[in-house]
């Protein structure tokens, strides 16, 4: 379990826009959350809600038309946005914070053996010999269940599950403190997805890793995370302990997501959908961005944007129902 006193990452009031010919897209709007050493956080929401943009802001991998407008991303006591680019590339990204990209087939280089790609990640960030890096790459492939014997294989020679495991091995190459997994089971079948999720959870416990899982799949979050953060239209609408949020969701959007999620346990229930569609982030609605779809919308919801409200320690919601 995580040390209650050891905060690893704190995102505070983060605002990030994409600049387009039609105007700024408010992809991340005043998002705040924190993560302690050894914790796993699920960042959840519909497509286009800003969860991947939040991840790319942390990793400083934003495209040229994107810019962080304000806020802090504090990692181990330092604001990542203020660290010089050269130092960030050499000492932070991949060495302290690594990533499992969505779609291993596209993320792995088709012309390089997987072992060589893992070795390259080690050599770029650590002063070790080629031989030592190669041996470590083999151990990492053993650790994730691919096997060191496949170290010279190319991506097209491996199954989808093996490619994803190679990406996980690469993310662990430099012994990071934080791993960000962006839809880590995309395009995998149910059985392989379950195996990959179990492996991520086992590695987190074994290595005391902090993990952020970026997904729209609530079952994935329930499987491996202790905390959950719900995003909608670029904003954080609810953030707290996963058991408490699942058992007693506060925000109407969280209630809708959980109500639309089937469960194999307990009595059967009719699933409920959330009416309408997410707003256009070029021109979001005034007040609460969820009010056009919310069954509890009040007049204040149409005029004023809700602020973070504390439900209890470590659990916040942005909704006028609790303001």
CATH number assigned to the domain covering 7-96+176-322: 3.40.50.300
Largest CA distance in the chain: 67
Residue 265 confidence (pLDDT): 63
Q: What is the reported pLDDT for 21?
A: 92
pLDDT of residue 264: 61
Per-residue pLDDT at 108: 87
- Supply the pLDDT for residue 10: 96
pLDDT by 10-residue block (mean), the chain, 323 residues: 70 95 92 94 91 94 94 96 94 92 80 93 88 94 92 92 89 92 80 83 90 88 92 95 94 91 70 86 92 94 93 94 84
d(CA 78, CA 97): 13
- Does the global pTM surpass 0.75? yes
- pLDDT of 288 reads 95
**Residue among 89, 96, 14, 95 at smallest CA distance from 50:** 14
Beta-ladder partners of 312: 315
What residue spans define the domains of the chain?
Answer: 7-96+176-322
Q: What share of the chain is helix, strand, coil (3-state, %, to 5)?
A: 35, 25, 40
State phi, psi for 19 to the nearest 5 degrees: -90, 125
**Cα(101)–Cα(86) distance, rounded to whole angstroms?**
22
Q: What angle do CA 7, 9, 12 make, to 5 degrees?
A: 110
DSSP label of 93 = B
First to last CA, the chain: 32
- Nearest residue to 294 (alpha-carbon basis) of 318, 316, 314: 318
């Amino acid at each position: 379990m995580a040390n209650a006193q050891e905060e690893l990452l704190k995102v505070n009031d983060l605002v990030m826009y994409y600049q387009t010919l039609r105007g700024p897209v408010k992809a991340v709007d005043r998002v705040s959350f924190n993560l302690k050493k050894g914790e796993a956080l699920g960042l959840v929401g519909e497509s286009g809600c800003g969860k991947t943009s939040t991840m790319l802001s942390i990793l400083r991998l934003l495209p040229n038309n994107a810019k962080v407008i304000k806020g802090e991303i504090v990692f181990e006591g330092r604001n990542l946005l203020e660290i010089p680019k050269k130092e960030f590339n050499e000492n932070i990204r991949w060495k302290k914070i690594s990533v499992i990209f969505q779609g291993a087939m596209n993320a792995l280089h088709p012309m390089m053996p997987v072992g060589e790609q893992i070795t390259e990640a080690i050599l770029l960030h650590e002063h070790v010999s080629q031989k030592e890096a190669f041996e470590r790459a083999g151990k990492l492939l053993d650790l994730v269940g691919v096997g060191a014997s496949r170290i010279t294989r190319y991506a097209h020679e491996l199954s989808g599950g093996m490619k994803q495991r190679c990406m996980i091995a690469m993310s662990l190459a430099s012994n990071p403190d934080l791993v960000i997994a962006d839809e880590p089971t995309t395009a995998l079948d149910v059985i392989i997805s379950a195996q990959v999720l179990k492996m991520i959870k086992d590695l987190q416990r074994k290595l005391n890793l902090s993990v952020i899982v970026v997904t729209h799949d609530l079952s994935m979050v329930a499987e491996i995370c202790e905390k959950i953060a719900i995003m909608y239209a670029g904003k954080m609408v609810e953030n707290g302990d996963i058991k408490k949020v699942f058992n007693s969701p506060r925000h109407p959007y969280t209630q809708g997501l959980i109500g639309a999620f089937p469960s194999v346990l307990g009595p059967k229930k009719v699933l409920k959908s959330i009416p309408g569609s997410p707003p256009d982030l070029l021109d979001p609605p005034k007040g609460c961005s969820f009010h056009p779809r919310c069954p509890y919308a009040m007049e204040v919801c149409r005029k004023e944007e809700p602020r973070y409200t504390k439900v209890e320690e470590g659990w916040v919601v942005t909704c006028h129902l609790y303001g």
